[in-house]
Structure formats: structure tokens, C-alpha cells
Amino acid sequence: MKFDKVIGHSHNIEILDNMIESGDINHALLFMGISGIGKKYTALSFAKTLLCTEENSCGNCPSCSLFEAKTHPDFFLIKPEDGVIKKKVIEELNENASIKPYESKYKIYMIDGFEKVTKEGQNAFLKTLENPPSYLKIILLSSNKSLILSTILSRCQELKFNSLDKLTIVEYLHKNYDISVEKANFAAEFSNGSIGTAIKLISSEEFNEMRNKSIDILDRVIKGDLSAVLSNAEFFESNKGNIDQIFDLYLLWARDIYIYKLTEDPTIVINKDKLHLIKTESFLSMNAIDNIINSVMEASKNIHDNLNYMLNIEMLFISIREECK
């Protein structure tokens, strides 16, 4: 039962399986990968197996029951609060480390989003990482290695979780959710190889509304209606936190126009549900499409550099309109 529901990541699963079989388990593991890639689910499956008092996370022993109920006394899952994990939380873990396990052979600390631990907290955690008791196993999950101190990294065995291939995600979505192949394809492409993100995309009505609105505005601008930007200023203001997704939608859209113009093959278009719009925009030159892509990327960079948000949105669409004349 150990990892039977984990999607992909066979190499990492093999490593973890070997650890379990041999009993040679590193005191600290670092699971690295983008959000929603499956590293947390894999880590939970691994932790449950280590804590199982029978064999291979049997699902029936008292330990497995406690784990499923999220009341296991030897399992500690730490997550950010308000986007941060404070030093105080880490110090409490340090103090608790000397207390032996109650139910199982091991005690497990799992810190989800370790890059959110403050620098002071990371330094404090070195106390436990450098000299952990034999029963303590530490699993750190992170999507941003650059925010973790080198002294922490050097004391962990890293398992890198790579993006899943598109076909794996499409097959999983089509098998487990009542959606069309076209919708599964779009979610797989847009998710950047993250199964968790893909599931959220097909389940989120808010995302679908944002996608439809974003593409409608872009389509109107391409066809000459710059007023679409001003009349939808509130939309962009309210989606400031989603602007990266909107820009990704625009890049994917430009890619579809480019591919369709080049091949006239609708089967390789990602936004298949909006093929009728893509066809009407294929009048754009290849150079214009390239410039639209560059304009979107430049606007994204400017916004990330904290330049005026709405001004950059307006300048982006003015630039796009100029390319479409």
C-alpha cells in the first residue's frame, strides 16, 4: 500500500522503498519540487509506512488508524501561518525532539514549505539537524531551494520531484474525473507538470471565469477594441494576485495562434474550446505574434520589479494593439 496512489516519481519511490526495506533511513530528507507536484503526498505515504507497527502501512494497526485520523502522537506536521514559520515554532520542535516516540519506532517531523521558515528559525533548527536522536526522522518539503540556508541543505538528502509529463496528467484526469480529453489536455499543459495544479484547474469555476474573461479582453484588443482594457480595469485590479496566471494564459494563447497559423492543424491547439477565436486571429503575422509574446514577458518582469501595476497592464495592451494594426 505504501506508494500505490502516488502519480509518477518512480525513481524517488524506489529510493524510499529501498530505505524502508533496508532500514537505512537518512535522518533528514529534503523533498524539492514545484507546488502540487506530489511531494507532500509521497512524504505522507512514507511517514505512514515508517510509523506503521505492522508492515508497509497496513492501514489496520493502531498506528495507521491514528495517522489517518491526524492524531498520531509521533507525527508532527508543520505548515506556514500567514505565509511564515516562525523561530518559536522551530524552538518548540527542538525541545520536543528529546522526547521518545509513544506509539511507533520513529518520531517524524514534517515541515511543509520549509523555505517559509525565517532565517533565525532555520539557524535554530541546525541544533536538531546536527545531532538528532536515532528515532527522529525529519522530512522537509520545499518549492524554493534558494531560500534555504546552505548549512541546512548540506545536512539533508535531497529528493528532486520533477514535473510530470503531460500524458501522465491527461490520463489521470480523464480516468478519475468526468471531463473531456480537451479539458484534460488544457489543464495538463497549463499546470506545468503539477498534478495538484491540474486538479485545481478542472475543479475551479473561478479559474474558468478568469480564463474566459482574460481571453475575451485580449481577443477584443487584437481586433481593435482598446476600450476593453479600460472598461475592465476592475477585473485586473481584483486579479492582481493572479496576474502570473493571466500572463501564462496569454502566452499559451499566442502559442496557439502561432501553431495554428503555421499548420492549420486544430488537433495541436491547446485552447481547443476556443478554436473559433484562434482562427479569426490567425491574420496576425509571425513577427506580430513574437512581439506580443515579448510584450507579455516584459510586462510580467516590470510588475515583478514592482513598477506601476495598472500602467504596465495598459501599456501591454497598447503594445499588443499596435502589433495588430
**41 and 100, same structural domain?**
yes
Q: What φ, ψ does residue 141 adopt, rounded to 5°?
A: -115, 135
Indicate which CATH number applies to the domain containing 32: 3.40.50.300
Within a domain: 186: no
Within a domain: 169: no
Handedness of CA 115, 121, 122, 128 (dihedral sign): negative
- Would you say 272 and 297 are in contact if contact means Cβ atoms under 8 Å apart? no
Report the b/e string of 278-300 with b at 16+ CB within 10 A. beebeebeeebbebbbebbeebb
- Would you say 270 and 260 are in contact if contact means Cβ atoms under 8 Å apart? no
Residue 53, amino acid: T
* This prediction's pTM: 0.77
**272 and 151, same structural domain?**
no
Q: How far apart are CA 98 and CA 128, in angstroms?
A: 10
**149 and 42, same structural domain?**
yes
Within a domain: 179: no
DSSP letter assigned to residue 269: -
Within a domain: 71: yes
**155 and 42, same structural domain?**
yes
CA-nearest of 138, 84, 145, 150 to 108 is: 138
Domain residues for the domain of 288 are 204-323
**237 and 120, same structural domain?**
no
> What is the distance between the terminal CA atoms of the chain, rounded to a whole angstrom?
60
Half-sphere exposure of residue 42: CA atoms within 13 angstroms, side-chain side: 29
**145 and 218, same structural domain?**
no
pLDDT at residue 56, rounded to an integer: 66
Structural domains of the chain, count = 2
Tens digit of pLDDT per residue, the chain (325 long)? 578 888 889 999 999 999 999 989 999 999 999 988 999 999 999 999 999 988 766 777 899 999 999 999 999 999 999 889 999 999 999 999 999 999 999 999 999 999 999 999 999 999 999 999 999 999 999 999 999 999 999 999 999 999 999 899 998 998 889 888 888 888 998 888 999 989 988 988 899 899 999 999 999 999 999 898 889 999 999 999 889 999 999 999 999 999 999 999 998 898 988 999 999 998 999 999 999 999 999 999 999 888 899 999 999 999 999 988 7
Burial of 163 (0-12, 13-18, 19+ CB in 10 A): middle
